[in-house]
A and B are shown apart, each in its own frame.
Chain A
Amino acid sequence: MKEMIEPKAKFPWGTLILSALAFLCAGVLVQRYVFGLGAMTNMSDGRGWGLWISFDLYCGVALAAGGFTLAAIVHIFHMEKYHPVVRPAILTAFLGYLLVVLALLVDLGQPWYIWRMIFNPNIHSPLYEVGWCVMLYTAVLALELSPAVFERLHWRIPLKIIGFIQIPLIIAGIVISTGHQNSLGSMLLIMTHSIDPLWYTPIIPALFFVSAMAVGPAMVVFEGTLSGAVFGHKISREVFTGLGRITSGILVVYLIMRLADLAVAGQLDMLFNRYPQNIYWWIEVGGGVILPIILFNIPKVQQSSKGMFIAAVLYIVLGLSLNRFIMSSIWLVIRPGYTYFPSWQEFAVSIGLVAWALMMFQIAVRLLPITKHHDEGESKSEHSAPEAAAAS
């Protein structure tokens, strides 16, 4: 990590790798639109949804939850000490949602007909809600991020207008994005017999909502540590410890919900005798929920940025992403006679889109007052710009 603090002296391997991945992705996309989905994916009639839905949609949307959680913590709950991390969180959420939109345009069989959902609504379809939430919340995030652009450009009037509607905008964003997390869970409710009984429950939407809330602060710890190492700016230990506490608090609620749900259904015994699914359950909940709760509350871990980082990663990778993968892919029944493992092109698209997002994040942090701003209401860009220049 130490070497990365002085990026100037090093050959830009990171940027090189990201660009290579991004261009590979673009090449594969040409293949996809010219030859069709069958030519480059391993999806089949047996498994109509693949890696793109599990990773880009299910994990992507959940990991973008930092946007609404931090906006709520700072602007609705008025916990001012978290103010410095709001904008990075909103930027990440916005890029995350752009990534989701792009991935959906790749995954849809006929994306040029996407406008049809506006004229042929099926209000009973959870996917209909998901579609609207993606569109609306991407727009809301763009607006929430716009002050950074206006500050950079010294546009006073649009800045004032956004400042005026800021709170209603943030509240609308919270309602839409939490609704979105819910509805991704509702989508799975229809797969009553395909999702393994260890995970299928009528309260999937609520579980998705709570686990997404918990991942917001964890993502901020994760990115804050990484971008701190790359860009050299510091986030105070107090903020990190606080975010860790918030995550572990929500995770306790989540854990109780998971266990109570199994208890009510009389399925607690499955944790011990439903082999091999229970192994996955223990890795997911034991390693990804219980362990982070413990880690986030050990004073020694709270004092170490590495410790906090590991606790956050455990929850992000095992507690959240593995959970979404299990429900939308790993323990989802496949039609008899079929198997599914993603093709290299599917991986190339998913990874390449992340590479695009990372590069855009890098550019945005360099060009816009993202990590250096203090008050969104007033334009402080005049003196944050030279500061940023001095820092780099």
Chain B
Amino acid sequence: MAYGVLFDGTRCIGCRACSVACKSWNENSAKVEKKTSVEGGIQGKAVVSSDTFTFMRYREIGEGDDFKWAFAKIQCMHCLKPGCETACIVGALHRNKETGAVTYDQGKCIGCRYCMVACPFGIPTYQWEDRTPWIRKCTFCSDRLNEAENGMAPACVTACPTRALQFGERDELIEEAHKRIEESKAADPAGVGKYIDHVYGEKEVGGTAWMYISSVDMTELDLPWLSEEPVTKNARTAMSLLPYYATGMLALMVGIYFITKRRQKIAAGKHEEKKG
């Protein structure tokens, strides 16, 4: 049981109300950032930063009759098996099993930035210009989710005017996503429908709380191609082998020490005999 959000690219109009709501709820400064200078029109170079937890990514895809606008809302995906959570040396990043939100506790952080390189989606950001920098990222509005009895969805979701963002139980959202894809196929005489038949985030890196369906492949919107294996798997296996490794190494070294020492003594003894 955990929450999720479904983004439907065919419903999104790219209005950026979600970004505004995010800035406002998290009291993030709206200053123009160095790295977000708009080059090449509206496709821009927007990125997540310590003051921007989410942004709208625009792409012009195809040409002529095939031309279309494609949008993707970029924010923390809130993985079911988060790389950042396994990476964090002090456990400052933690996935709440009830809400599914992966949140950060600056009361534990030491600033090693392992989470930033461990994240397969490139989400955690850092307050580089600060003398006492912390990690910053989307919180899934967990301060609103915690008041879930009041029915508070994340700020971005409530702001969306076209219901392109839908908040709910993750399992139900997966069903909903497939239903929309199938219904669209059924309505289309050619049997194709308006969606690509893939729910991005359903299985990627073991599943994410945020999921996408769209008329274009999400990798065209620069979401990374990822396998279904959680990124934490190999690292966790390696760490679980550690006690065996240490014991084995210890035994090996003690063994070799005594064997070679004994050999040395025997050799020394023979040497003495020869001399005598």
Taking beta carbons and an 8 Å cutoff, which residues of A are in contact with B?
33-39, 43-46, 48-49, 72, 75-78, 107-111, 113-114, 116-117, 120-129, 131, 167, 171, 174-175, 178-179, 182-183, 185-187, 189-194, 202, 205, 332, 335-338
Contacts and interface: CB of A to CB of B under 8 A. Distances in A.
Given A171-B254, A190-B231, A179 B222 contact: no
Contacts of A190: 83, 86-87, 118, 231-232, 234-235
A194 B226 CA distance: 10
B1 interface: no
A202 B237 contact: yes
B111 A113 contact: yes
A377 to B, nearest CB: 14
Given A77-B260, A126-B235, A129-B239, A113 B110 contact: yes
Nearest to B135: A109
A108 B111 contact: yes
Given A109-B110, A110-B109, A193-B231, 19 more contacts: A38-B130, A44-B35, A45-B116, A45-B126, A46-B122, A49-B113, A76-B260, A107-B112, A110-B111, A114-B110, A116-B109, A124-B232, A126-B235, A167-B257, A190-B86, A191-B118, A192-B120, A193-B227, A336-B47
A282 B231 CA distance: 28
Nearest to B236: A124
B91 A121 contact: yes
B29 interface: no
Nearest to B254: A171
A76 B242 contact: no
Contacts of B35: 44-45, 337-338
Given A37-B128, A191-B118, A175 B239 contact: no
B111 to A, nearest CB: 2
Contact of A78 (B49, B133, B264): B264
A187 B114 contact: yes
Contacts of A111: 110-111
Contacts of A124: 86, 232, 235-236, 239
Contacts of B111: 108-111, 113
B42 interface: no
A171 B250 CA distance: 7
24 contacts: A35-B131, A48-B116, A48-B124, A76-B256, A76-B257, A78-B257, A109-B112, A110-B110, A120-B108, A124-B239, A125-B239, A126-B87, A127-B114, A175-B246, A175-B253, A179-B249, A183-B242, A186-B239, A192-B120, A192-B231, A192-B234, A193-B224, A202-B234, A332-B117
Given A109-B112, A127-B112, A36 B131 contact: yes
A350 to B, nearest CB: 17
B183 interface: no
Contacts of B48: 45
B263 to A, nearest CB: 8
Interface in B18-53: 35, 45, 47-50
Contacts of A77: 256, 260
B97 to A, nearest CB: 16
Interface string B207-228: 0000000000000001011110
Contacts of B108: 116, 120
A126 B238 contact: yes
Contacts of B88: 122, 125, 127
B11 interface: no
A174 B49 contact: no
A34 B131 CA distance: 7
Contacts of B237: 202
A72 B253 CA distance: 8
Interface in B89-135: 89-92, 108-114, 116-118, 120, 122, 124-126, 128-134
A170 B101 CA distance: 46
A357 B232 CA distance: 36
Nearest to B261: A78
B188 interface: no
A56 to B, nearest CB: 14
B33 to A, nearest CB: 10
A186 B235 contact: yes
A133 to B, nearest CB: 11
Contacts of B60: none
A191 to B, nearest CB: 6
A48 B257 contact: no
A36 B129 contact: yes
A127 B47 contact: no
A174 B256 CA distance: 13
A108 B226 contact: no
Closest 4 CB pairs of A and B: A109-B111, A38-B128, A48-B116, A48-B113
